[in-house]
Structure 1
Amino acid sequence: MASIDDPLLLLRQSIAAGSKIIATTSPDSSDEAPLSTATHLIFTHPVRKAVPIDAATRFTSTEGKAVDLRSIYFAWLNHDVAIPEYNAVATKLNDEMAGSATVHMFAFVERLVLFTFLEGASEESEFIKPLAGDKDAATGAGTTATGAALKAAPATSGRAGRGAIDPRLAQIYDGERRMGDRNTVLRGIKPTDFSHVRKLAAPFMTRKPGQAPQPSAATAAAAANASLALNQKPARRPDPIILLSPSASALLRMSNAKAFLEGGRYMPPETNTSTSMLHISRTLKDIDPSRPMRFILVEGPEQFKPEYWNRVVAVFTTGQAWQFKNYRWSNPAELFKHVLGVYLGWRGDEPPEAVRAFGHKVLACSVEKWRDPGQLGAETSRWRDREVVEAIWKGIEANMRAKGWRKDAAPGAI
C-alpha cells in the first residue's frame, strides 16, 4: 500500500484525478485553514487520508535534506508563478509562521524535477528517493514464489497512478509461472564466489615459449573494473536550453514561443503572462533521429547554476545590450562566440544597427507582419512562418553539432 502511505504519491494521484486537497488544523476536520496554521493535509483520492503537513517526503533538496509536505504542496500551488514571485510569497508565508516552521524555496532545477514528477511525465530522479516497496521488489526478483508477483503488481499500478489492481488480473498473475532473468537462472538469488577456480586453472595456464606474459592479478582486476565502468548505464543527456529576450518589444515571448517554434505559426505575444519556463520538443535528425529532443525555454538566467550555461544552445535577442547584463558573457561579441544568436523581425524591416554589428554569429530572420485574421488575405502569407522556423532550427542544430551535442551526450563546456 505504498501509494496510500507515501505523501508524494498521494499528492501526485490527487493532481491526476483532480480531487480536492484540504489543509486543516485537525485530522478529523474538513474546514480549510491557511497553510501557515494548518497541521494536516486531507487527501480525498483514492481514499480519505490525513497526513501531517510537516511530514518529510522522498524529495531531497540539492543540500541532501528531505523536503516537507508543506513545501511541496505550496510549490505546486504556485507552479504557474514566476520564480521571483514564488520567492516573494514563500518569504511572506515564512513570516506568517514566525519561526514555527519554514517552507523550502525550490531552486530552478528542483522546481523543474518536482513539477515533471507531479504531472506524471517522469517516474524517477536523482532528487526523489525510491519507495521501500521498489527496493523489496528488486531484492525478491529472483524468487519463484507466485505471491511475490501478486504483491508487486499493485505497487506498480500505484506508482503509475492507476489505482489498485483488478481482482481478476491479480488472479491471472497468481497463476503465472515466474521466469526470472539470466542472473537468477544461471546463479540463483545469491551471488556465487568462483575465485577458487583461478587456483585450479593456474597449472593449465602456464606460459609457452614466445608467448606474452600473463597479466598479474592486480592488472586483471583493474581491467575488469574498467570493463564494468564501460558497461554501466550512461548518464541521461540533459535538456538543452534556449534563452528568449525579456524585452517587451521582442516578437517572440513565452506566450507565443511554443506555437511558433513547435507549431510553425506566428502569433503576436500576449502582454500579460506568468509563465517562467516552457518545454518544447523537436527531432534533430543529425543528432538523434530516433526520438524528439526536449528543449527548455526561459527568459533570463537568474536561477542558473554555472554548469547550466554549457546547455544553452541559442539566445534570442533584439539587440538591446541590457539583456546580457546577468549573462555569463555580458559582452555580446564574446557571448556569440559561444552561443548562437537569433534575431526575429518583420519582413521588409532592416535589423537594428546593434544586431548588424554582432556579425554573422547572429542569425537574422524575418516573418510576415501580423494582420488581423479577419482581413481579406491575412492568412495567405502565414505559410512562410514554417519556412522561417525551419531555418532557425537548422541553425540551432548545426551549432549544437559543432559544440559536441550527441545522441547520448552533451558538451562539457561551450
Structure 2
Amino acid sequence: MATTDDPLLLLRHSIAAGSKIIPTTSADSSEEAPLSAATHLVFTHPSRIAVPIDAPTRFTSSEGKAVDVRSIYFAWLNREFAIPEYNAVAAKLNDEMAGAATVHMFAFVERLVLFTFLEGAQEESEFIKPSAGDKDATTGAGAAATGATLKVSQAVLSRAGRGTLDPRLAQIYNGERRMGDRNTILRGIKPTDFSHVRKLAAPFMTRKPGGPPLAAGVNGANPSLALNQKPARRPDPIILLSPSASALLRMSNAKAFLEGGRYTPPDHNSTSTMLHISRLIKDIDPARPMRFILVEGPEQFKPEYWNRVVAVFTTGQAWQFKNYRWSNPAELFKHVLGVYCGWRGDQPPEAVRVFGHKVLTCSVEKWRDPGQPGAETSRWRDREVVEAIWKGIEGNMRAKGWRKDAAPSSI
C-alpha cells in the first residue's frame, strides 16, 4: 500500500507536519463538518487527499477487526482524556450518529500503541498490520543484515530523508519502550474496586468517644494493638461569660479572678475573644490540670461543642441566650450550671431568682480604689468566692460524666 493510500501514514505525516485535517461531507468539499455527519477526512499534507471516513485502516482491535478512519482520528483528538472520559465522549458521538456508524472504544493498550505510532515513536505492533512496502523491506533486510541490526521501516526512513527525523534517532525510537503518563498508567478499562481494603483496615480502627459505632462484626479494640495505642486527648471544657457591659466578669478580668483569685474591674476596651485558664480538678483528674476555654458567645460553636460547656455566667438578661442551643433559660440551666456574680450586699435581679437553684449566686466585695485607705483589706474574700464557683463547676462536671480522658457525649 502506498503512503498516499494509507490513512494511518497520512494521519501520522500530518501530525508531524502540523498540517490541518478536515472532516467534510464530500470528497470535493473543504468546509469542516462534525464527525457525526462527515463522510470524508481531507488531509492537506503533502497534498490534498480525501479519504472516506469509514474506510478501514491497518490498525486492528484486540478482536482482530480493522478500525475505521473516524475512530482513529476521534481517538487522536481526545488523546488527553483518560479511558472513562474517552468512553463517555465516544458514547455521545455514537448517539449523535444514531446507528449509522459507531466509534470503536479503544482499550488501554490499543490507545497506547496507536498514540505512540502516530507520534512516530513506534513502527511495529501486533495491532498494526504491515503494509506491502514494509513486508518487502523486511524480506530484503533479513537477507542482507544480521539479527543484531535493528530494522527501520521505509516510512520512517522516507520521513527522515525529508529532514524531520534523524535516521539514528529513528533506530532509537524503534527500540524504545513507551511509558505513557499518569493518566494512562493509573487508569485502566475497568474501575478498580477497593472495598476489600475496608475489611483489612477494620482491626486498626477504634471507636472514638461520642463517634458513630463501627460496622457490624468489627471489634472496637484489638488487644494485640493495645500497647501501641496512644491515649485519647481529653477535650477542653468551655465556660461561657456574659457579653453584657454590666457583668462583673468579662474577658479582660476573668482570668485574673478565676485563676489568680483576685477581682479587678473589667477593661471595656479589651478586644479578646477567647481565653485559656488552667485548674486542677482533683475528683476528675488529680494528675494534670484541666484547661478551660472562656468565650463570651457561641457564634463559632460547632454542635458538639455544647457537650463541653460546664458553666454559663449570666446577669439575668434573657437576650444573652438568644443564640444558645437552649434559648429558654429554664431549659438551659437544666443542662448547664449557671453562675451569677454580683456585689456583696446587693440583691440578685428578679430574673436570676426565677431561674432557681440551678444558678449559683456569688457575691464579690465592692471594688474600691486601691489608693484609698483599707481598700485591700476586703480583697481576701475574692479567693473564697472563686473556690465556691469552682466547687459548683466541679460538681456539675462529675454529674455530667466528665472523666480524665474524655468529655460526656451529651449533657
Which bracket does the TM-score occupy, shorter chain normalised? Answer: 0.3 to 0.5
TM-score between both structures, scaled by the size of structure 1: 0.46
Q: Which has the larger radius of gyration?
A: 2
TM-score between both structures, scaled by the size of structure 2: 0.46
